Amino acid sequence: MEHLAEVKNLKKYYPAKKKLFKERQYVKAVDDVSFYIDKGETFGVVGESGCGKSTLCKTMIRLTEPTGGSVFFNGRDIASLSPEEMRLMRRHIQIIFQDPYASLNPRMTVRELIKAPLDIFSDASEEEKMEEVFSAMELVGLNREFMNKYPHEFSGGQRQRIMIARALILRPEFVCCDEPVSALDVSVRAQVLNLMKDLQEKLSLTYLFISHDLSVVRYLCDRIAVMYLGRIVEIAEKDELYDNTYHPYTRCLISSIPIPDPEVKRHAMILEGDVPSPYNPPAGCHFHTRCPYATKECSERYPELREVAPGHSVACHFAEKIREGRA
Ligand code: SF4
């Protein structure tokens, strides 16, 4: 299959306040991350809050400039594009944010909000643009009679539909979805997720889907990467990741998914302690301060991401032993 996007050794470091006589420290929000996304695929990125998944999303589409590495989109390195070239590229790459209320201008009507990208990119007449707006509203299940209403007059689910209509009105190829359903009521989440699935099929979209919710990611994604403190620790196809989990961190995350059946008992692996400070991540494997299998070697040497099965890579020195229960 053809790769639509390819991320190579992407880094995003934020400088911390410099202390007197001390070297400047950096928060390594995204540290040497590589992966690819195929055309028509939904690629999921999961991890706890603060693991760098939203920064990865924003850095990948250059909403924030990368510190290093490259991002290829349809074979072109977007990190090297001029501002004008990047502006034109934005037609093909859109984003849906987590909180639709915060990302919709409260002074604009639905019509103005959805039409805004066309006003920037299209030379079509006002009438033609309105036809596009109506068809985008229809696509996401919004009645065209709502066009003169304001965001505060809608429910959370409807506001997210407005966001989706705005993201899709330019008919992009690639959509970054940054926790698009986590601010919604549970009852509305499934509707929005099903809508996104339908739209993907209809419009041949490719998604990067960021979430902290493994059950949501399992429902929507084809392949999944698990992030911890700015790095990918495991990456595999959805079923492979859930059925043959290698990394202890992924095991903990999966074991904490609630099972909606009182008869089924699952032994959750409880993670000890908090996520370490990203200013000063632990040496060696960043997970060693919380890992039940950690040894001296883990605190001395960072485990590189390596393939343990076709298409399945893990960053753990003892992945095979842990998987087979020998650790
Ligand atoms: Fe745990 Fe060591 Fe594997 Fe890190 S490398 S996940 S600390 S066993």
Give residue-wise pLDDT tens across range 70-117. 999 999 999 888 989 998 899 999 999 888 778 899 999 999 999 999
The closest of 50, 36, 8, 112 to 286, measured between CA atoms, is 50
Please give the pLDDT value at position 4.
95
Instruction: Report how far residue 56's alpha carbon sits from residue 232's, in angstroms, rounded to the nearest whole number.
Output: 11
Ligand 1 centroid vs 221 CA: distance in angstroms? 26
To which H or E segment does residue 47 belong? none
Ligand 1 centroid vs 275 CA: distance in angstroms? 15
Instruction: Report how far residue 310's alpha carbon sits from residue 299's, in angstroms, rounded to the nearest whole number.
Output: 28
Please give the pLDDT value at position 1.
65
Please give the pLDDT value at position 20.
60
For the cut 70, the answer to whether the pLDDT of residue 246 exceeds it is: yes
Please provide the average confidence, as pLDDT, over all residues in the chain: 90
Burial 26-44 (b: 16+ CB within 10 A, else e): bbbbbbbbbbbbeebbbbb
> Average pLDDT in the 287-303 region?
92
Give residue-wise pLDDT tens across range 33-54. 999 999 999 999 999 888 899 9
Pocket test for ligand 1, best of 317, 322, 323, 326 (most atoms within 8 A of CB): 317
Ligand 1 centroid vs 327 CA: distance in angstroms? 10
Ligand 1 centroid vs 244 CA: distance in angstroms? 17
Ligand 1 atom, smallest distance to 299 CA: 7
Give residue-wise pLDDT tens across range 102-160. 889 999 999 999 999 999 999 999 999 999 999 999 999 999 999 999 999 999 999 99
For the cut 90, the answer to whether the pLDDT of residue 267 exceeds it is: no
Please give the pLDDT value at position 215.
86
Cα dihedral sign for 143, 146, 151, 153?
negative
Report whether 316 contacts 307 (CB < 8 A).
no
Ligand 1 centroid vs 21 CA: distance in angstroms? 34
Pocket test for ligand 1, best of 226, 232, 272, 288 (most atoms within 8 A of CB): 288
Please give the pLDDT value at position 18.
67
Please give the pLDDT value at position 37.
97
300 CB contacts (<8 Å, ≥6 apart)?
283, 284
Ligand 1 neighbours (beta carbon < 6 A): 247-248, 285, 287-288, 291, 293-294, 298, 303, 316-318
Please give the pLDDT value at position 300.
93
Give residue-wise pLDDT tens across range 8-27. 999 999 988 766 667 778 89
**CATH dotted code for 3-92+172-267:** 3.40.50.300
Pocket test for ligand 1, best of 316, 320, 321 (most atoms within 8 A of CB): 316
- Ligand 1, atom 7, lies closest to the CA of 288
Please give the pLDDT value at position 54.
92
User: Within 13 Å and on the Cβ side, how many CA atoms surround 317?
Assistant: 18
Ligand 1 centroid vs 284 CA: distance in angstroms? 9
